[in-house]
Structures are given as C-alpha cells and as structure tokens.
Structure 1
Amino acid sequence: MAKKVEMLSSSLVSGTATASISRLELNPWDLRFLPVIPIQTGLIFHSPHFQSQQNLIQHLKNSLSRALDFFPPLAGRLVATPHGGDMASFFVACNNAGAEFTHAVAAAVSVSDIVEPRYIPEIVSSLFPINVGVTNYQGISKPLLAVQVTELADGVFIGCIANHAVADGTSFWHFFKSWSEISRGSESISKSPIFDRRSAAAGVDDNRLIHIPTLEENLMAPSQLPPQLKVFHFSKEKLGELKAKANSEAGTDKISTLQALTAHLWRSVVRSQINNNDPTTRVLIIAIGARARVSSLPDGYFGNALCFPALAIGEDELLQKGLGATALRINEVISEQTDEAIAREAEKKVQTGRAWVDVGGGPPLLVGGSHRLDVYGCDFGWGKPIAVRSNNDRKVEGLVAAFPAADADGIDLEVYFKEEMLQTMEEFLTVLPQ
C-alpha cells in the first residue's frame, strides 16, 4: 500500500465562551515576523485507546474549543488598518472566527516511518495543515492556528501551524500543553496567558505603522535545491562532556550546556563548509527568549518575546581557537542582552521588515528553540509524546531548532542543510572536538 495521507474532513473550531479580550495589539516584537513563515511543529504519539476514530476526533475538537477560551487570539484574525500610501498598522481581532481543524489518516504510515529514517521523510510535510498561507501576513484572510490530526497505522500525529506574528515558540508550547491538560479532563490550565502589551519592554509596547508592499513575500527565501531536515541527538553524558571541555578551555564555569553545544554545532558547520569557497567571516544568529531578561515581562506573557543577537567571527579564529573560545564569545553576546539592548534591537528589526538585521559575512547559521520547553509534558491522556517533528517545507537553509530530547536531559537539534553537508557535519558532530 502506498504511503500517503488522506484528508477526511476540515472545519473551523471556535471557543465556547465570549473572548476575554476583543483585540490584541501587535508590537514591534510581533510585527517583524509578518514577512516570514508560521511556526510548524507537531508531536507524534502511540495510538490512543478510543472506541472509534470519531470519538478521538470529537474529543480533540471539544478540548481544542475549550482551550481556545483561554487563548482567544488564536481563534481570531489578523487585521491591517491602512493609513495612506503603503503604510498600515496591525492587530488581532479576537472575534472567535475559529481555528482550522483537519482530520486525516495515513493507514500505511507507522511511527517508525517517521522517527527512524536518517532524515525527516517527505511524508511529514503531509502531516501538517495545507493552504494556511506562505507568510504570517496572510493571517488577514486565514486562521491564525491550524491543526491536523493524522491517524497512523500505530499512532497519531498532531501537527500545529501557528501564526508567528501572534506567538513565539514559548507561547506556542504554552498553548499546546494547555490544550493537552484540558484533553486530560482538567477544567482549567496550569498557567494562564497574559496578553497585556503594557507589560512589554520599553519601546516595544506600541503598534507601529509599517510598509506593506513586500509582506506577501517570504523574506526567509527557501533554497533552490531542497535541503534535508535531520535530527541530531545529544545525550546527557555527551552534553556534559561538551560543557566541561568548553569551560575548561575558556578557564571559566559560566558557559552553559546549550552555549557549549551551539559552539560545537557552529564549528562543525564551518568545518563542513571550509572547501566551499564561502566568505571567511562566519555569522551566528541566536534566538534568545526575552521573558527571563526583561524585568517587566511575566512568565505567561503571550506573544513574541525574542531577541536575535548576531556574532561574526573569522573562519580561522573560529576553528583555530577551539571550542572554549567560541563558546565564551557566545556566552558574552548572550550576557549583553539587557532590557535596553533588547528593546533597541526590536526597533531596528521592525524598521527593516526582518526578524533579524543583516550583519555581513556568509549566510548565517540561525539557532532557535530551547531544550527547556516542556514539549514532553504535552500528554493528551494517552501518554507523553514519542518525538517532536517540524515541517521541512519552506524552511531556509542554515536554520536550527533545539528541542528537549525524549530521554532525560538530552537535547535534539533539528538541522536544515543539503544532504551532502549534513553527512559531513555528522562526522564532526558525533565526536568530541579536539
């Protein structure tokens, strides 16, 4: 039997109650994501114990509807207000227009078909909702949240696409976990979202007029030759070795596990590209959560709270000075992200219409995500997820996402490069750097 995904039904799911807010203003942190693609991530589970397909789907629809009561922006629509010429401001109308819910089946696709291949297989793209738009700007006419539940031969995949102008990764997983809590039978959620933009950092709590002509273009242009998406797994033991080596070489104890891993990844990427006639200046861009760095931001802040500091290092310095020197530079750049610096960075980027500012050099390595996200706490009532997977469609080469691994204290890196590059990287990533 051919491995294909059959779409059985699609409908809109609205909240059950009157929305707690009528509109959500978008600030510069949010606006800079209008020209790029939405968040596209899902979880794979073992088969739930339900009497029938219909019981499972109706249960998930009902629990999604109740979850949207707590997250009304995700059931709303993006609104652009023209201000003459090519200028507009944006907000989310919390009008309960609904999230898209698709039910699909892939009877010949097993859990192992998704989690065991060397590269994330093409079939995974079919496990996410279709026709949701190329960029976040198209949330004007399309749902801001789209869900696809695909029944597999021996499991279930729940794929979610969320408009990135409305939510960042932290807010995305806040919603996902809250939905799972309601699915398990809870009447409330463990952490309430906070939508008040006045709690945002100084300089980012206002809605800005921005130019709109290019917003329908994806500014994270995909490669001409489709790269592959591969998951590199790092165990607790391997991570401990990397962290210890980085701190020892740098003569410090302040380099974190993720900083050491990011340095190892960056050096491995450069070593893999060294014969490709690329520019000698290498650029690393790191997506850093601002909630713990901006004093006025509460933990439950719903929206985008990210900064993207960039680090440019010469190729020779990057490779010759070792893991510790690179990790220390990363640590220093991250430590510089104060309240004022984060607000200033957001201001620059909304003016350029990009999530980050070009800093010269070769194509950047962009590292996002976090191993601290409670991905495996998303238990819908039939056990924790087996694995997390992202859609490999329309991504930009050099994009890396960090997730917690299924095993305790491990980290998985989803890395998007051409196959030849990934094969070379694997040789460097799987050994402790000398």
Structure 2
Amino acid sequence: MGTPALRRISECFVKPHRSNHLSDQICNLTPWDIAMLSVHYIQKGLLFKKPATLLHENDFIQNLLENLKHSLSLTLSHFYPLSGRLVTHKTQNPPSYIVSVDCNNSDGARFIHATLDITIADILSPLDVPPIVQSFFDHHKAINHDGHSMPLLSIQVTELVDGVFIGCSMNHVIGDGTSYWNFFNSWSQIFQAQSQSENREYDVPIARQPIHNRWFPNNCRPPISLPFKHHDEFLERSEKPLHLRERFFHFSAESIAKLKAKANSESNTTTISSFQSLSALVWRSITRARSIPSDQKTTCRLAASNRSRMEPPLPEEYFGNCLHAVNAETTTGELLENDLGWAAWKLHVAVKNLDDRVVLQYLGEWLDSPVIYQMGRFFEPYCVMMGSSPRFNMYGSEFGMGKAVAARSGYANKFDGKVSSYPGREGGGSIDLEVCLFSHTMSALESDREFMHAVSEFNPLRF
C-alpha cells in the first residue's frame, strides 16, 4: 500500500486587517535581500497534537481555521510586506533593472486547508524525515523571484489523524530566519490573545514590533539598480539531489556542555561557545564520513545575523535580511589530524572576526559587482553549511493546542552538507540538528563513534 495522498480542502487569501499609510508603499530592497532572489522560500513549520478532549469534535478544525485566519489578518497589519508582491521596473535609457516589493497591489497571503490520513507517529517514528513532509508546505520548489506572481507568504494547515501541522512558506527576499520567527511568534501571540478576548477587532500589542525601515550602507541610495537586462541572467533552479537523506539528531544540554568543555580544554581557552563546539563536531564527523583525500579543501560555513555586529547595532526587530556566511577553511587532513578544540577554535575566530568593518566591505564589493546566490555555485562539494539557529523561539509559538511536538522543514534549500539547527523541544540549551547528506555519507555518519557518542537518546513521541 502506498503513502496516502494529501488532499487540499480549501484555499483563500488573507489581507491585513487594517491597512496603514506605510502598506501603500513600494519597499526598496537591500543588497542582503536582493542576493536571495534565486534561492528557495523559507519553509518551516510546527507539528501539534490535537487536544484529546477535542479529538472527536467536528467543529474543532473549523474553529481553529477561522481563528488562524483572523489572527493572521491582524498579524499582517504589523508585517504588511508579507501580503505584497515583488515587482521589477526596467528602463532601456538609461539602463536600469530594479526589483522591489509592492506592499499593496496583491491578493494578500495564501491560506490553505489540507488533510492527510497519517499519524504523528508516521512522521516522527522513521529515522529519516519522510518525503511526505514536503507536501505540508506550499510553494514547492519555488524560488524567491517567483514572488512576482506567487504570494510572498503562504500558510498551509494540514489536518492529520491525531495532529495538525502548520507550515509556512515565506519569501526569503522579504526576510531571514530572525524575521521569519518574529512573524511566527507574533502570529501565535495574537492568536492566543484573540482566543481569550470577547472583542475580536481590537489590535493586540505584540512583544516585538517589526521595524520595516530597511538599512542601506551610507554610500548607497535606494533603489538599487542591477546590471542585468533579463532575469535569466541571474536565476538558476537547482533540484535537490537524488539519494539525499534527511535525519534529525538530538543533543541534550548535558551532551553539549561536555562538548563545550572538551573544546575549550583542548584549545586552552574559555571563550568557545556551545554552538561553535557542536558545529566543530559536525564538521569533523561529516568530513570523516565523506572519506575524501587528505589534501582536499573543506569549508564550514555558519549563517550569522549581522544585527548586533553593526555600529550602531540594528535591533533584533529589524525586518528583512541581515545575514552573513562566516567561513572556516582547512584541508581534510589537517581537520581530522587535529582535535575537536582545534576545529572549534577556527570557527570561534571566524565568528569573532565578523564585525561592522567586514560587513561594510562585503556590501561595498557587492554594490560594485552584485551577486545573486545560487545553490549550485555557492557551495563547494565538501562544504558543511550550518543554517537556522537554536536561538529562534520555535516552541514558543502555540495555537491553542499546547506546545508543538516537533518542528520540521520543507523541500527548500536542501543539499549535501546542509545542517539546520533547532532548539530542542525540552529547552535548557538542548539542540536538534536536521542533517542532509548523500545516503552513503549518512550511513557512515551513523557509524561514526565520536559523533554518535555525543548524540542523545530521544523519543519524540513521548509528548
């Protein structure tokens, strides 16, 4: 018997509850935003258990859907660029190619209700993430440039036998992971407040009001004109490789504390962070599992937010992209001949060196010669890329069903060596890693003694 098929029950569009004078504007994009035009949407979501008391009530899902739509409309009043569309303005004389966001002239955000006849256990029991999880997200395989004709935000609520998955696809040109989770957390906050209020029309004050005033370097006057005549010159649609396995590994707070102590002890320091220690373990273990020649170059990249690194710093509430990929590079031989502390120190130095001066230099070079990131060309074959962040408040988002059982992602932005980090559900500094590797490399990683010794036993179904 094959896997049950997902059924789309309904689809509609949701607009901001109240428009404001800003939502009528054209939003100019920064270099950080424009660079994302050829990569996929952000696809992240949360899996909830249906409340046992409501499991057999027919109106449970209808009430949930209505409350989700209404609170989404209120949330979009704060995050109005998400209800817009991308627009391109071209002129021949003088030559100009400008991509921006029209915040007003669109149908709004898409909202989908779907059903699938499987259980939470069907999703969480297999070692690997089952491919059916990709169907929990709209905009399958879409790249951000498709936001000219597709919604910049699409929510899909998938009803399972005993659970509900809320999946969100957000255009990466509009914002990064920090922006994404601020939107998601704010939506949850508004949902909770609405469900406890008699007055559904009042505006809920949110904890972290997004700041939409996009930041540009001093020598840059928006809008930015790109040196292209047609989007075919900078777009590439890369398929996720076949034989790519995706698996979650759990690291308890205790296990990570041991890794951190080991890395600092071996480097004779106290400044290496928990995440740098874990990333060093992952880099070394995946490189060992790949069985590549000792003189082969290998890179570990960490996605870092620039907000706190700018002078003056940008607030956490800054809505947009504000990312920089921090690199540590060596040969396979050197990485594996040295200890965990050596690798962790390399990552520590790379992160420490990322400051305002480095970011401004990168932006200056980008403005001289704009680069649109492309999956196929941006990452070397022996790279390990650490994306997302365990600092994001994923499990703080509740929608009347209690704390989520698990966080999962869609098809988007996956390749061999991509590792996404999530906070562990139990909190306290625990971390889950979503690891994407070719099948043979994943099998080798699962047999890697150092790596598996640090992985913690974890039963996601005990909640």
TM over 0.5: yes
Judge conservation of contact 1:280–1:362 (CA < 8 Å) in 2. no
- Higher deviation after alignment, 164-173 or 9-18: 9-18
Q: Secondary structure at the match of 2:37?
A: coil
1:273-331 CA-partner distances (Å, limit 9, x unpaired) = 12x55961101121101112113411210000100122210111101111001100100
**Structure 1 residue 83, shift from structure 2 partner:** 3.3
1:44 and 2:47 are equivalent in the alignment:
yes
Change in 2 beyond 3 A, CA 1:20/1:326: farther
CA distance in 1, matches of 2:37, 2:313: 25
What is the aligned counterpart of 2:290 among 244, 253, 273?
273
Match of 1:327 in 2: 344
Report whether the alignment pairs 1:189 with 2:206: yes
Closer/same/farther in 2, CA of residues 162 and 347 from structure 1, 3 Å limit:
farther
Equivalent in 91, 99, 122 of residue 113 of structure 1: 122
> Shift in Å at residue 197 of structure 1?
1.6
From 353, 374, 388, the equivalent of 1:369 is 388
Among 124, 128, 140, the residue aligned to 2:137: 128
Question: 1: CA distance between counterparts of 2:274 and 2:220?
Answer: 30
Which sits farther off after the overlay, 155-164 or 93-102?
Answer: 93-102
d(CA) in 2 for partners of 1:55, 1:360: 45
Residue of structure 1 in register with 2:438 after alignment: 418
SS at match of 1:104: strand
One-letter amino acid of the counterpart of residue 16, structure 1: H
SS at structure 2 position matched to 1:197 = coil
Deviates more, 1:339-348 or 1:317-326: 339-348
Contact 1:74 1:145 in 2 (8 A): yes
RMSD of aligned residue pairs (Cα, Å) = 2.4
Q: 1:358 to 1:122 in 2, by over 3 A?
A: closer
TM-aligned CA deviation for residue 93 of structure 1:
1.0
Task: In structure 1, give the amino acid aligned to 2:9.
Answer: L
Q: Which moved more, 1:176-185 or 1:347-356?
A: 347-356
Q: Secondary structure at the residue paired with 1:232? A: strand
Q: 1:97-116 deviations in whole A, cap 9, x for unaligned?
A: 3001110011x211111122
Using a 3 Å threshold, how does the CA distance of structure 1 residues 361 and 130 change in structure 2: closer, same or farther? closer
Distance in 1, matches of 2:113 and 2:364, equals 41
Aligned match of 1:100 in 110, 128, 144?
Answer: 110
Name the TM-score, length of structure 2 as normaliser.
0.87
Matched residue, 1:57 = 65
Identity of aligned residues (%): 34
Once structures 1 and 2 are overlaid, which stretch shifts more, 247-256 or 405-414? 405-414
CA distance change for structure 1 residues 202 and 422 in 2, over 3 Å: closer, same or farther? Answer: farther
Sort the Cα spacing of 1:155 and 1:20 in 2 relative to 1 into closer, same or farther, 3 A. Answer: farther
Shift of 1:380: 1.4
Q: Which residue of 2 aligns with 1:73?
A: 81
Residue 88 of structure 1 and its aligned partner are, at CA, apart by 1.4
2: distance between equivalents of 1:175 and 1:238? 31
Match of 1:151 among 134, 159, 170: 159
Contact 2:139 2:169 in 1 (8 A): no
Q: Equivalents in 2 of 1:213, 1:279: separation in Å?
A: 37
Counterpart residue type for residue 283 of structure 1: T
- Asked if the contact 1:278/1:362 (under 8 Å) is kept, the reply is no
Q: Aligned residue for 1:84?
A: 92
Q: Residues 236 and 374 of structure 2 are in contact (CA less than 8 Å); yes or no, is this contact kept in structure 1?
A: no
**Partner in structure 2 of residue 242 of structure 1:** 259
- For residues 237 and 259 of structure 1, the distance between their equivalents in structure 2, rounded to whole angstroms, comes to 16
1:375-429 CA-to-partner distances (Å, cap 9, x unmatched) read 0110112211111001135622221111101012210111111222112112332
Tell me which moved more, 334-343 or 159-168.
Answer: 334-343
Structure 2 Cα separation of the partners of residues 20 and 385 of structure 1: 36
Deviation at 1:345, TM superposition (A): 2.2
Equivalent-residue separation in structure 1 for 2:20 and 2:398 (angstroms): 26
TM-superposed deviation, 1:82: 1.0
- Cα offset for 1:6? 0.8
SS at match of 1:129: coil
* Residue equivalent to 1:15: 16
Question: C-alpha distance in 1, partners of 2:221/2:431?
Answer: 34
- TM-score w.r.t. the length of structure 1 is 0.92
What residue in structure 2 maps to residue 26 of structure 1? 29
**Match in the other structure for 2:5:** 4
- Offset of residue 201 of structure 1: 5.2
Please tell me whether residue 293 in structure 1 is matched to residue 309 in structure 2: yes
Matches for 1:350-389 after TM superposition, within 5 Å? 351-354=370-373, 362-389=381-408
Name 1:407's counterpart in structure 2. Answer: 426
Which stretch of structure 1 is more off in the superposition, 420-429 or 38-47? 420-429
Provide the C-alpha distance between the structure 2 equivalents of 1:369 and 1:43, rounded to a whole number of angstroms.
15
Distance in 1, matches of 2:80 and 2:187, equals: 13
Q: Which residue of 2 aligns with 1:431?
A: 453
Q: Give the aligned residue type for 1:255.
A: I
- Count how many residue pairs are aligned between Structure 1 and Structure 2: 427
